[in-house]
Structure 1
Amino acid sequence: MRNATWRKSSRSNDTGGECVEVADLGAAVGVRDSKAPAAGHLCVDRASLRVLVSRIKA
């Protein structure tokens, strides 16, 4: 996990807004709060993340 490359949306900005970061962990995706990266992360399987994102966009 220490070597994971965390990314956030290209639509986010540096004005202190709330952002979610994701990292490719192979079979899963790491998800964390960009404002509190030391607070930990969630591991989500790719299929579940696709469902979540599609429901958020709906």
Structure 2
Amino acid sequence: MNIETVSYLKANANNLSLEDPQAYYEQQETIALLKLINLSERNLNQKGEQSLDETFDV
């Protein structure tokens, strides 16, 4: 992701390319999955082993 100033964005608004909706959706799904994996790993490190029911209990 590129970071630009507001002035640059205003001056070059016609030349900006945006992600297509499917790519954005897939990116958000990937981020959500990575967050879930991270949360599971932290929980496992804190409590030790768990049963499948405990692991997927929300």
* TM > 0.5: no
Identify the structure with bigger relative contact order (alpha carbons < 8 Å, sequence gap 6+): 1
Mark the structure with the bigger radius of gyration.
Answer: 2
User: Is the helix fraction higher in 1 or 2?
Assistant: 2
In terms of fraction of residues, the more strand-rich structure is 1
TM-score by length of 1: 0.30
